[in-house]
Amino acid sequence: MKTIQGPALFLAQFAGDEAPFNSWDSITKWAADCGYKGVQVPSWDARLIDLDKAAESKDYCDEFKGQATENGVTVTELSTHLQGQLVAVHPAYDDAFDGFAAPEVRGNPKARQAWAVEQVKKALSASKNMGIGAHATFSGALAWPYIYPWPQRPAGLIETAFEELAKRWLPILDHAEDCGVDVCYEIHPGEDLHDGITYEMFLERTGNHDRACMLYDPSHYVLQCLDYLDNIDIYKDRIRMFHVKDAEFNPTGRQGVYSGYQSWVNRAGRFRSLGDGQVDFGAVFSKMAANDFDGWAVVEWECALKHPEDGAREGAQFVKDHIIRVTERAFDDFADGGTDEAANRKMLGID
């Protein structure tokens, strides 16, 4: 067994225009002060990282990592959640997602997609330059508007969507192989990869690509009423990244999974700060340890109620309290009789 690393913090929800959240130097110092040992970096945020330089220059990456180390944290992974979303966008979402892209490709879906593919490839190259073996992203979605089977879906619609999705990602996955970096898709509503079955559909169409891995986040499974503990055992060989995020699902006679278009505060299912929701993290961390996950436990703070800075500080301690330092010996070794094969055969009555 292996001991999980952590705690780390995903910086996407904290980066901003005011200190200490507006520069790489100050935000890493702040994260360390909160009790974190690592940070996951949103590669789209130019206040924190120059992705073009990171993809091209190992010297830049060494300086980038070095500054973080001086401030007390390790760079755990890079993220392209926003760029990955743009690898596949259904036309219904063109306007909603256009703001994720660089200004020069907005309003041009074809150019935007090409830009997004290059962005993810650059982040993979940057990960290689930093000596990081896993990368976080979204899959994007072509079939999401048809998630509910009414009106009846035409035969072959979903299959065509997943074939196209795999076609768009295969060059990226091949680049990831060249870089020695796993692409960890966050299984997330709004993506075509939103549960285990859809992940398997994608995996099949990529030829079970070795680099098509999974980012495990139990909060998204709570809101889908999916067994988030069984999921760990099913996909243990593909889970290469871990977001520690809490959630709760409280259905009523008025709303359930779909929540009637309510705000986050008023939804039946909503994200919560760690310890305030319904995820059994004692069981989650136990299964991760038993399955030899040795990556980082990364806090992703999202809560409809609590202030983010409070959630961050509480989250660091929460993860520290849940990381299991795995044992190197069995608890009953003291009673070992020191038998050998001959003694074993004798105990079994084998001549």
- 35 with 5: CB under 8 angstroms? no
Task: Quote the pLDDT of residue 2.
Answer: 87
Neighbouring C-alpha atoms within 13 Å toward the C-beta of 252: 8
Tens digits of per-residue pLDDT, 79-134? 999 999 999 999 999 999 999 999 999 999 999 999 999 999 999 999 999 999 99
- 78 with 114: CB under 8 angstroms? no
Tens digits of per-residue pLDDT, 210-234? 999 999 999 999 999 999 999 999 9
- 169 with 139: CB under 8 angstroms? yes
Task: Retrieve residue 275's tokens.
Answer: 């310890």
Q: How far apart are CA 103 and CA 67, in angstroms?
A: 30
Q: How far apart are CA 8 and CA 241, in angstroms?
A: 12
Residue identified by tokens 């979605």 is: 141
Q: How far apart are CA 162 and CA 152, in angstroms?
A: 18
pTM: 0.95
Q: Could you tell me which residue, 343 or 171, shows the higher pLDDT?
A: 171
CATH of the domain at 145: 3.20.20.150
- 49 with 43: CB under 8 angstroms? yes
Task: Quote the pLDDT of residue 323.
Answer: 97
- 47 with 18: CB under 8 angstroms? no
∠ CA 228-9-316, nearest 5°, is 85
Residue 272's SS3 state is strand
Tens digits of per-residue pLDDT, 115-124? 999 999 999 9
Task: Quote the pLDDT of residue 90.
Answer: 98
pLDDT at residue 24 is higher than 60: yes
Could you give the number of structural domains in the chain?
Answer: 1
How far is it between the farthest Cα atoms of the chain? 81
Helices (H) and strands (E) in the chain, counts: 13, 10
> Residue 316 is inside which H or E element, if any?
helix 308-322
Domain range for 193 is 5-347
Q: Where are the beta strands (DSSP E) in the chain?
A: 5-10, 38-42, 74-80, 134-137, 182-186, 212-216, 239-244, 246-249, 269-272, 296-299
Q: How far apart are CA 16 and CA 13, in angstroms?
A: 9
Tens digits of per-residue pLDDT, 324-340? 998 777 666 655 767 78
